[in-house]
Amino acid sequence: MGNRAALPLAAAAVIGVGLALVAPGLAGGASAPPSQGAAVAPGRALYVESCSSCHGMDARGIRGVAPSLAGVGALAADFELSTGRMPMSDPAAEPVRAPPAFGASDRHDLVAYIASLGGPGLPAPDVPDGSEADGRRLFTQNCAGCHSVLGAGGVITGASVPALQQASARQIAEAVRLGPYLMPRFGEGELSDRDVASVARYVLATRSPDDRGGWGIGHVGPVPEGLVAWLVGMTAMLGIARLLGERNR
C-alpha cells in the first residue's frame, strides 16, 4: 500500500515541476525578456500611482485628456519618460524636454509595464556602423528644415522645435521612429536602421563641430554672422566718417 500511494505522489511532483518550468513561457509569450517581465508588476503599481489619472487605470486613455498607451510599446514610453516629457502638468500643452521625473529604476519598471501592453521595442542604433557623411545628407534632407543644420532647434507654426544637443543616440532613434508631437514619423521604408544610426552619428558629431571659418557664433546659421558683420562694418564706417570729418574742420 505504501508503494502504491507513493507512485501518484511522485508523478504529481514530476508534473508540478514540469508545469513550473513551462508556465513562465506560456504566461510571457513572446513579449518581454525575464528582466523586463519581473519589472511589469512594480511598473504597473507605479503607473497606477503616477499615470492613471490621465491615461486611465487600464492604460486605455481618457477621452479628451490623454491617449491610450496600448500598442505604443517601450519605444514611446522610454522616449517620453527619459526626456522628461511625461508626466505633464497640462495635457493640452506642448510636451518639452525636461529633467526626468522618475529615476532610472522606476523608468525601467514603467517601460516594462507599457511594453507588456504591446508595441515596438527599444531601438538600439549601431552608431559606429553609421556614416557621418550619410547622416549629414539625410539630416539635411529630412530634419534640418526644422531643427537647423546643426540640430540647434528653432520655431515652426504651432510648436517650438527642440535642440538636439542633449539627446542620446537612442533618443534620436526613438524620435525618428516615433514622430513625437508635430514631428513626422519615419518608418523603416523611409529610413533604414543604418540610416538612423548615421543620423544619430551626425547629430552627436555636431556637438563639437570643426569651425574652419573661425568663430562659430552659436552655430545657428548666417543670421548672427550677418549681424556681427553689420555691427563691425557700421562701427568701422562711423569711425572713418568721424576721422574724415575732423580732418575737414
pLDDT value for 29 = 36
Least confident of 37-46, 119-128, 146-155, 238-247: 238-247
Element (H, E) at 146: helix 144-147
pLDDT value for 214 = 60
Tell me which of 134 and 234 has the higher pLDDT.
Answer: 134
Average pLDDT of the segment spanning 233-244 = 84
| Domains of the chain and any CATH numbers | 33-121 (1.10.760.10), 127-205 (1.10.760.10)
- Report pLDDT digits (tens) over 143-196: 999 999 889 998 888 889 999 999 999 999 999 999 999 999 999 999 999 999
Termini Cα distance of the chain: 133
Return the SS3 of 101.
coil
Residue type present at position 74: A
- Report pLDDT digits (tens) over 101-137: 999 999 999 999 999 999 999 999 999 999 999 999 9
Q: Between 73-82 and 104-115, two packed helices, what is the crossing angle to 10 degrees?
A: 150
pTM over 0.85: no
